[in-house]
């Protein structure tokens, strides 16, 4: 078993066994190739076990966070069908370690995107509709002490996601200046706007489309793309009720159970 395979197995075990130390012994903090290799091992493992891929999530879309981790690019992780929580549904806290929530714009594709030179225009043309979304991020790395390589290897620090029920076509939407408000238990805890996501959520989607096309794993019709946080993420506690509103897109919500 290679070091990458051992690291992938340790990350899988952490879902049930608890968070592990940062992966410094195997991956240098900015080792993108090694980190994506570990992520790919687990993706193959999980799909082999029957999990179904439904899209991708984009992370590190804020320049300040990129600078903090010493990189100049976003990252991505895989979304599986069993990560979806219904709008207004319940997050099982027993299935999370140290979860946090962030509000995002989700794009649902109506056609394949296999162009390594994709543009904002070609990506927009491939989008069937957009919805308000909440991503529940989590880390299998203790105390969220992550490097770029840690979060990439850990499937982009992904956990669950919620899609709102209002479907909006892109025509007429202002995803640049749209405001975002995230509330926990009725109190405003995070504010943001579309421009916080790599300058525009479609910019993030272009980066993802190009990256995956070059890897030979292009986005497909029906895929969900979580484009990245519009404001700071917020730690979650048992019993919390979480509500997000994004201007022009509508709302999404969930609550944390008491387990």
> Is residue 96 over pLDDT 70?
yes
Spatial contact of 191 and 181, defined as CB atoms under 8 Å apart:
yes
Closest CA to 114 of 228, 211, 204, 224: 211
Number of domains making up the chain: 1
Q: Is the pLDDT reported for residue 19 higher than 70?
A: yes
- What single-letter DSSP state applies at residue 62? S
Question: According to the model, what pLDDT value does residue 167 have?
Answer: 97
Q: How many CB atoms lie within 10 A of CB 31?
A: 18
> Residue 87 is part of a domain; what is its CATH number?
3.90.850.10
Average per-residue pLDDT for the chain: 96
Q: DSSP letters of 192-238?
A: EEGGGTTTSHHHHHHHHHHHHHHTT--B-TT-EEEEEESS--EE--T
pTM for the model: 0.96
5-19: b (≥16 Cβ within 10 Å) or e? eebbebbbebeeeeb
The first and second tokens of residue 69, run together, are: 């981790």
pLDDT (tens digit per residue) in 215-247:
999 999 999 999 999 999 999 999 999 999 999
Give percent of the chain with pLDDT exceeding 70: 100
Tell me the per-residue pLDDT of 167-207, one tens digit each, with 9 for 90 and over. Answer: 999 999 999 999 999 999 999 999 999 999 999 999 999 99
The range of the structural domain enclosing residue 246 comes to 3-256
Dihedral sign from CA coordinates of 17, 8, 154, 220? negative
pLDDT class of 72 with cuts at 50, 70, 90? confident
Q: pLDDT tens across 117-139, in order?
A: 999 999 999 999 999 999 999 99
What are the tens digits of pLDDT across the range 26-68?
999 999 999 999 999 999 999 999 999 999 999 999 887 777 7
Spell 53-71 as b/e; 16+ CB within 10 A means b: bbbbbbbbbbeebbeebeb
Distance CA 41, CA 9 (A): 9
Structure confidence by residue, pLDDT tens digits, 200-216: 999 999 999 999 999 99
Q: What pLDDT score was predicted for residue 259?
A: 67
How many helices and strands in the chain, by DSSP H and E? 6, 13
Q: Does residue 251 register a pLDDT over 80?
A: yes
Secondary structure class of 190 (helix, strand, coil): strand
Mean pLDDT of 83-89: 98
């Amino acid at each position: 078993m290679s070091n990458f395979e051992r690291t992938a197995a340790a990350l899988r075990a952490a879902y049930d066994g608890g968070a592990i130390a940062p992966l410094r012994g195997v991956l240098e903090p900015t080792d993108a190739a090694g980190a994506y290799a570990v992520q790919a091992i687990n993706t193959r493992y999980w799909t082999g076990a029957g999990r179904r891929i439904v899209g991708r999530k984009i992370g590190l879309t804020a320049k300040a966070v990129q600078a903090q981790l010493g990189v100049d690019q976003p990252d991505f992780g895989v979304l599986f069908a069993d990560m979806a929580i219904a709008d207004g549904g319940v997050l099982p806290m027993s299935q999370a370690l140290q979860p946090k929530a962030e509000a995002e714009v989700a794009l649902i594709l109506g056609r394949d995107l296999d162009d390594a030179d994709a543009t904002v225009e070609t990506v927009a043309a491939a989008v069937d509709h957009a919805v308000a979304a909440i991503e529940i991020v989590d880390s299998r790395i203790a105390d969220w002490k992550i490097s770029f390589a840690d979060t990439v290897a850990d499937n982009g620090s992904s956990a669950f996601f919620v899609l709102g029920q209002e479907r909006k076509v892109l025509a007429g939407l202002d995803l640049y200046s749209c405001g975002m408000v995230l509330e926990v238990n009725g109190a405003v805890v995070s504010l943001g706007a579309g421009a916080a996501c790599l300058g525009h959520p479609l910019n993030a989607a272009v980066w993802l489309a190009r990256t995956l096309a070059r890897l030979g794993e292009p986005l497909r019709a029906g895929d969900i793309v979580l484009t990245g946080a519009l404001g700071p993420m917020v730690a979650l506690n048992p019993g919390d009720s979480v509500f997000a509103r994004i201007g022009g897109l509508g709302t999404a919500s969930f609550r944390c159970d008491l387990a």
